[in-house]
A and B are shown apart, each in its own frame.
Chain A
Amino acid sequence: MAAVGVDSGVMQSTGDAIKSRLEHGASIRPAGQWSLVWRRLRRHKLAMAGLVVFASIVLLSLVAQWIAPYGYEEMDLRNTYAPVLAAGAEGKPLHLLGTDGLGRDLLSRLLYAGRISLGVALVVTLASTLLGALIGAVAGALGGAGDSILMRLTDVMLTLPFLPMVLVLSSSLRQYARLQEFLGSNLSVVIIILVLLLFGWMGTARLVRGSVLTLRGQDFVAASQALGASRWRIIVRHLIPNSLAPIIVAATLGFGATIVAESALSFLGFGIMPPVPTWGNMLNEARNSPLEYLFTQALSPGLCIFFTVLAINFIGDGLRDALDPRLKM
């Protein structure tokens, strides 16, 4: 009894200490995994710079309809291929970055294009990460024949030549009359999302399967089983957080790769079709413009792709270091 009294006394005084510290505004909880990650990420200067650049690009695209001086389809056929800082038509704002072959304001198109390019990449990355995680987790959990089948399927998809296959699929899917009726002008956007999703899940699937297989045999999993943790608790508290790090890094870098892939397809004329602007199909239009205008037409959409992808690569690199301090390159 006495022992209990002492114990509760200690508890009491610790409780007081906590209370007094809380009153002074300091956190007493040990730093969680995520706040540690954030702390490490904040020290990574390039990742922070990347984050700022990426956040500004996202923000600018989100508010495109309020800040864009022109609509993305607004043409002025008397003012085509206008240079940087060209005057607009009477009573109209300046063309800060000039105009394209149909006299459309380049800056406004870039802002709207960012919305499509980033949106498509976001949807594709989220969906393919989820799909890959599902397939990988199922394969790892099933083992045996189910695992073999799923992993051979992954091999097949990885072996198919990516760019030609995606070109074939997007050009043939476009010919489905049923899809055309159903989707109308969104057709090319939906097709790109589907096709990139189809070819985007394999990396995550392999990652997740691998980490499920290694984690299953780890001591800390056995330890929490011995402590009576339920299977659900083990999955949520141990398996998911421990396999999350490589997935987050892969998804971040995958987001950048998806932007490049969508731009490449749109550049080749097999992706998102005009009048919907994306950075890729703006480059396609630049390529088809007279050679003397190629530089001004291609510079800004390309810089948008470059800065976005560079920022994401820096963020991904920072996340890799922050999420796994053991893995120091």
Chain B
Amino acid sequence: MTAYIVRRLGQSLVLLFFISALIYVVINLVPGGPFDLLRLNNPRITQSMIDRLNRLLDLDKPLLPGEYCPLEGGTPQPCRFDQGRYVRWMGRVLRGDFGNSWTMQTGVPVLKMIGQRLGYTLLMTGLALVLALVIAVPIGIYSAVKQYSGADYLVTAFAFFGQSMPTFWTGLMAVAIFAVALQWFPTGGVRTIGSEGDIVEALGRLITFGKLHPELSGQEWKLIGDGLRHLALPVTILAFFNLAAWSRYTRASMLEVLRQDYMRTARAKGLSEKIVILKHGLRNALIPLITILALAIPGLIGGAIITETIFSWPGMGLMTINAIANADWPVVQGLLLIQAFLVVFSNLLSDVLYAVVDPRIQYA
């Protein structure tokens, strides 16, 4: 087991190295650098100003290790070896420094920006995950136990419908119906305009017993209520999409278990059908769901780009799309690298957990 984990870790590190290089190179291959837009918007910016900016941000250095011939004041200087921007970036990242934002919050460290948004994303995606699981697992179990019944067909049809409705449409329709026409929920954002603080800050205050955000004392529950009203639509939309796939998955897993010999043995012993299904069936059927949970980690932290965009939810997903639109390269690089790391890590985690939980799995 240890040997297996060590080998998988090694493979993951190699994979991450290639991914980091690919991410960095792809982003940095944009022609004209990040200042094309700047010059387009302001014709008074001269080439020499852009050269100076490039030098300031190290953008005149080669991408990969190689010759560097500085041009200072227009006169060529002697060439020397340079470690390259990728190596320099990776070195800093390994020491925990993802660089500073260029355009979104100029000069603010990328990690700090992520810290400001992570709570919002975790709250939204976490609630959606719990909601989807709480509904999907019982539905999946039920439709497997009653295979080919009317309820089973209903669940299957529902899953097909859910998987064919992209979130960018269901999100818009939810806003149009529940926020605009019925006015049950707000159209987006985190809090009602004019209120001090929001749900994430209120939760932070509750978790730290008042150390964080002392100014919100006494208003926590009001703010949480307001936040939940804002969360209702995006969380439902996100959960709805996962619900479809996960109920199908639970159903398939339960059907597999129902066929096993130990189920027949349990019935032959004279156990009641309820105990057979819940104790012998359900427990084994839940094992494959570990995979779903582990693989949900990247989305949990990386956020939902489309849902956050529709509901103006200030989390990691909205940050990603804004960083791309504003050519904020350090932020984009940081977010993509973290996301790739989470994908690799969660794949590893799901394989290892599976092997731990199910002793029948042979790992070599």
Contact = CB atoms under 8 A, between A and B. Distances in A.
A283 B23 CA distance: 30
Interface in A137-181: 152, 155-156, 159-161, 163-165, 167-169, 171-172, 175-177
A309 interface: yes
Interface in B329-358: 332, 335-336, 339-340, 343-344, 347
Interface residues of B, number: 48
Interface residues of A, number: 45
A172 B30 contact: yes
A313 interface: yes
* Majority secondary structure of chain B interface residues (helix, strand, loop or mixed): helix
A294 B169 CA distance: 11
B176 A161 contact: no
Q: Which of B172, B306, B310, B336 has the most CB of A within 10 A?
A: B172
B6 to A, nearest CB: 18
Contact of B15 (A152, A260, A264, A283): A152
A270 B169 CA distance: 17
Contacts of B180: 291-292, 294-295
Given A164-B335, A264-B166, A268-B306, A313 B160 contact: yes
A159 B15 contact: yes
A159 B343 CA distance: 6
A23 B199 CA distance: 81
Contacts of B300: none
B168 A164 contact: no
* Those 9 A-B pairs whose CB atoms lie nearest each other, nearest first: A302-B169, A295-B176, A310-B164, A172-B30, A161-B339, A309-B164, A294-B176, A298-B172, A267-B168
Given A176-B31, A263-B166, A310-B160, A164 B15 contact: no
Interface of A: 152, 155-156, 159-161, 163-165, 167-169, 171-172, 175-177, 256, 260, 263-264, 267-270, 280, 283, 286-287, 291-292, 294-295, 298-299, 301-302, 305-306, 309-310, 313-314, 317, 329
Given A295-B177, A305-B169, 5 more contacts: A156-B22, A269-B325, A295-B180, A305-B166, A306-B164
6 contacts: A168-B27, A171-B325, A268-B309, A291-B187, A295-B173, A306-B164
Contacts of A302: 165, 169, 172-173
Contacts of A172: 26-27, 29-30
Nearest to A307: B164
Given A156-B19, A310-B164, A313-B163, A175 B30 contact: yes
B161 interface: yes
Contacts of A270: 324
Interface of B: 15, 18-19, 22-23, 26-27, 29-32, 36, 160-161, 163-166, 168-169, 172-173, 175-177, 180-181, 187, 252, 255, 298, 302, 305-306, 309-310, 320-321, 324-325, 332, 335-336, 339-340, 343-344, 347
